[in-house]
Amino acid sequence: MPKKSPRGTMFNVILTEEAGNLFSNGSIMSLYLRKAIGVWWLDCYSVDPDGAYLHVLARPQPDPHINVETADLLIHHHHILFVASAHENKSLGFEKILLNADNNSKGHH
């Protein structure tokens, strides 16, 4: 289990494009991945960078048709670009920018 993070802290684990494409291709991780304008990431409750793998407790993406629990995932460090954190009641600025840009690009097609 990843180390406990400070209370209320959320993490976004930003993946390489190659990792996002690999993990989204029918793997169980696709239930946890988010993507906007070519950037793949995981929303996580905790992150532990010790060892050869980043150990995360990932939050599933909302889907009214699938009941999915949080998952302990181990991701090799070479798949990670960076990790960002914010208090649970705050959203990360880059995430807002990505999602807004993605929504805007969909509206112009």
Residues 15-72 pLDDT 10s: 999 999 999 988 888 889 998 888 899 999 999 998 889 999 999 987 777 788 899 9
Q: How far is CA 107 from CA 56, 60, 101, in A?
A: 34, 26, 10
Per-residue model confidence (pLDDT) at position 10? 85
Query: pLDDT at position 90, please?
Result: 57
| 15: nearest Cα among 76, 90, 87 | 76
Q: What is the pTM of this model?
A: 0.76
Confidence class of residue 109 from pLDDT cuts 50, 70 and 90? very low
Which residue's structure tokens are 């999602």? Answer: 99
